[in-house]
Amino acid sequence: MIYGKIKDKKLREAHGDRVRRAKRYLRYLPRRAVLHKYPLISRFSKSKWFARGAEAFVRAARKRFYLWSFRTAHAIPAIYVGSIISFMPIFGIQILVAFIASFVFRANVMIMVALQFITNPFTIGPIYGAAYYLGNFLLSGLPSYTPTFVDSTTIDTETVLTLGQTGMKWLKVFFHKFWVTSVGGMVIGYFFAFICSIIYRIVARKASTSHFFHPDSTNDDSGKKNP
């Protein structure tokens, strides 16, 4: 009896330590209890044009259990979709896209948003550069693929349409590079997610031996446990 109490006490202490560490790591991520305070959402809630929409979004998000569930059914899609979004050339709107994608794919929003911090002002250059070269390498095998570039010698400087011609050429180059970088980013994101998903399954399997955590038996919004 005494041994059982000691064992339970140690389990509770270990669980408390994990919870405190988790809160420390998740303080920069959207959490269910303080979702309305998350920077991206609080900015909209302070606007007179978007305040009602932000409040409705927070209420809807709190009711959807899969956004906060760490079950493998909700965590693995978050890892894959979040990784692909993170390596896409959409820096600046990634977190917004991740929020929307978490609803569409019924995935964990905290994991989805956390993955967006992979690309930041310090890593954006190497990541997008690698994604572009990989995408260019993969697409170069297609018969219909032709690299797009601006050749200044082909620009007619003697016509009034010079500025328009130059603008269209640069616009064509921009969309080409965006498409190529997106293809490379999706491939890198997929393989990155594949590795992360394996690690998550291993960690989740070890954690499932605890009485306090089981990734496949969390409560859903109906209050019943899933098998």
Q: How many independent structural domains does the chain possess?
A: 1
Answer with the residue of higher pLDDT: 83 or 14: 83
Which positions ≥6 away from 97 have C-beta within 8 Å?
85, 90
Domain membership of residue 120 as a residue range: 69-221
What SS3 class is residue 26?
A: coil
Residue among 191, 185, 192, 194 at smallest CA distance from 88: 185
Note the Cα 166 to chain centre separation in Å: 36
Task: Write the pLDDT tens digit of every residue in 130-180.
Answer: 999 999 999 887 776 666 554 444 444 444 445 456 667 778 888 889 999
Q: Give the pLDDT score at 49.
A: 72
What SS3 class is residue 226?
A: coil
Distance, in Å, from the CA atom of 221 to the CA atom of 79, rounded to the nearest integer, reads: 22
The fraction of the chain above a pLDDT of 70, given in percent, is 67
Q: Give the pLDDT score at 29.
A: 74
Distance, in Å, from the CA atom of 13 to the CA atom of 135, rounded to the nearest integer, reads: 49
What SS3 class is residue 146?
A: coil
Q: State the pLDDT confidence band at 54, using cuts at 50, 70 and 90.
A: confident
Q: Which residue has the tokens 């609080």?
A: 42
The answer to whether 29 touches 114, Cβ cutoff 8 Å, is yes
Q: Give the pLDDT score at 45.
A: 72
Task: Write the pLDDT tens digit of every residue in 55-108.
Answer: 787 788 888 888 988 889 999 999 999 999 999 999 989 988 998 999 999 999
